[in-house]
Amino acid sequence: MIKDTIVDGFHNAPHRSLYHALGLTDEELSRPLIGVVCSYNEIVPGHKDLDKICDAVKMGVAMAGGTPIMFPAITVCDGIAMGHVGMKYSLVTRDLIADSTEAMVMAHGFDGLVMIPNCDKNVPGLLMAAARLNIPTVFVSGGPMLAGRVGGKKRSLSSMFEAVGAYKAGKIDEEQLCEFERKVCPTCGSCSGMYTANSMNCLTEVLGMGLRGNGTIPAVYSARIELAKHAGMQVMELVKKNIRPRDIMTAAAIKNAITADMALGCSTNSMLHLPAIANECGVPFSLDEVNEISERTPNLCHLAPAGPTYMEDLNEAGGVYAVLKELEALDLIDTSVLTCTGKTMKENLEGVQNLDTEVIRKPENAFSATGGIAVLRGNLAPDGCVVKRSAVASEMLVHEGPAKVFESEEECIAAIYAGKIVKGDVVVIRGEGPAGGPGMREMLSPTSAIAGMGLDKDVALITDGRFSGATRGASIGHVSPEAVSGGTIAYVKDGDIIAIDIPNYSIELKVSDEELQKRKAEMPIKRKEVTGYLKRYAAQVSSADKGAIINK
C-alpha cells in the first residue's frame, strides 16, 4: 500500500506523530487510507449538500475497513459566473482542480480515493486527476436538482435565462419574471436539465467510474445518501483488487462515453472534457470519430433544454443504465469493459429495463437517427466546431445568412437587447476562445436572449467560445482555430454570408481565398491584456479541438 512508505516503520515516526495530531488512532493508521475529495462549499447550489454526501462516503469507507480522510476541491457555479468576467474563471478551474488534487494525493500517500464532484468543470477536473494519479478511485456526485414548476410546467435554469429575454421583448411582465426567479431552482443539486454537470455525471457512469445512479438520482433523495455509502464501501473493494482508473477508462470506455453522449443529447462541453480526460488516460481522441459514432447512434433522449423532460424523469425511467441497455441491444457499445463495480458493463446491465419509452425512446422511435452532437468543418472552422444538434430546430439545421460580428459577449448581448439582431442573421462572437478569452466563456446569456425573444428558429450564433448545456438553438461553438490564433473567424466582416449545413457537417464563410488573404494582411489580430492566472493559462492552453488542455 502507498501509505506503507509514509506510515509504517521507525523512520516514519515523525509522520505518525502528525497523524496523531489529527486524532487518528493506531488502529486507523493500520488500515488503508482513503482520500475523500469533497467539493463542498456554500456558494454553488450543486455543492451545498456535499457535506452530507461526504459524511455518508466516510461512513461507507469505515464500514468496509478503511480510514477516510477528507480534503477539498474547488468549483465555480457557471450560472452565477455567467455573462460577466467571472465566466473567464470557469473552464480554467478544470486544470486547477486536477493539479491541486494531484498535489494533495501525492503529498499524503493515499491508498484509494472517493471523488465527490457535482458541477461543470469539477467533474472532468477530478476525472482528469483520477486518470493522472491512477490509484483505486470511485466517483459519487451530489446529484441533480429537482425541476421547478412555473405555470403548471416543469422548468429549469435555462427557462430562467430565456425568461429574461422574454421580459425584454415584452412577452412577460415583471411579476412573471419574479415568479420564474423564485421557482425554477427549487432545491440544491446540479441544475435539472441535461446541462454540462449532469452530462458529465452521467458519462462518469458510462466511463465506469461511478456506480449506477451517479448521474440521475436527485440530490434531495435519500437514495443519494445510500449511493454515497456504497461508493465508500466499493472503493475498498477496488483497493483490495488493485483496480485502477486507467484499467477502467480505456479507449473502449471512452468510445462508449461518446456513444452514450449521442444517445442522451449531452452538452457540447463534453467535447472539451472527453478529449481532456482521454489525454490523461493516454488514449487518442479525434473529433472526426465523433461524427462517425453520431452517424450510427440514435438520439433517444430530449431532456431540457432540448425537450420537456428533466433529470428526475430520466432517473425514474431507469437512468443511464437504461439508455446503455438500448445501445447494447443495437450492439453500439463495448460491454466487456471493466467498471468500478469490479464487474464488466455487461454484468452491470443484466436485468436493466427501460421503464418509460417517452423519456428514453426505443431506437425505432428515436428523436433522430443520428446523435445529439455534430462536429462541423469548413473554411470557417478547418479544425472543427461543435453544435448540439438535438437542440436545434429543424428549420435551422440548414441555414445561410449575413454575419453580424462582435468582439465580445457583452457587445453581442447589448445588440440583441437593442433589437439589432433580426431574422436570418448569423451572429459571430469572436475573441472568446481558450487563449483569446481567455478562458472560453460560456454564452448562455446571448443564446437565451435570442430564444426568449423568439428568434431561436431564425438566428444562428457562432463563436470560438463555448455554450452552456442549457443552450438551445443553432448555437455553434469551439470554432478552431480561434481568432487569437489567426483562425478564419478573426477575419469575418459584417454582411459576409455564412452557410451552415448541420446534416452534412459543414460550415462555410462565402468569401474567396484571395479576399481572405487580403484581410489577413490588413486586419490585425486583437488580443486582450490579462494578468495573473489567466495570463499563464492563455500562454499554455491548447485549442478547443484538442480539449483546451494545458500542453505548452
What is the layout of strands, in order, in the sheet containing 33-38?
Answer: 67-72, 33-38, 112-116, 137-139
Look at residue 30 and give its three-state secondary structure. Answer: coil
The cell numbers describing 340, all together, are: 468500478
CA gap 386, 245 in Å, rounded: 28
Q: 537: buried, middle or exposed (CB in 10 Å: 19+, 13-18, 0-12)? A: buried
Look at residue 210 and give its three-state secondary structure. Answer: strand
Contact 67, 110 (CB under 8 A): no
The cell numbers describing 284, all together, are: 487518442
CA gap 373, 299 in Å, rounded: 9
User: Which segments of 249-286 does DSSP mark as H helices, in order?
Assistant: 251-264, 270-281
CA gap 48, 338 in Å, rounded: 32
The cell numbers describing 111, all together, are: 491508498
- What count of residues does the chain have? 552
CA gap 223, 218 in Å, rounded: 8
Q: How many CB atoms are closer than 10 A to CB 58? A: 22
The one-letter amino acid at 85: V
Mode of pairing for the β-strands spanning 426-429 and 460-463: parallel
Mode of pairing for the β-strands spanning 112-116 and 137-139: parallel
Radius of gyration of the chain (CA): 23
Place of cell 443552450: 471
Single out the residue of 458, 398, 409 nearest to residue 431, CA to CA. 409
CA gap 503, 245 in Å, rounded: 36
Look up 156 and say whether it is catalytic.
no
Q: How far apart are the first and last CA of the chain?
A: 34
Instruction: Out of 445, 468, 542, 543, pick the active-site residue.
Output: 468
Contact 193, 157 (CB under 8 A): yes
Active site residues: 468
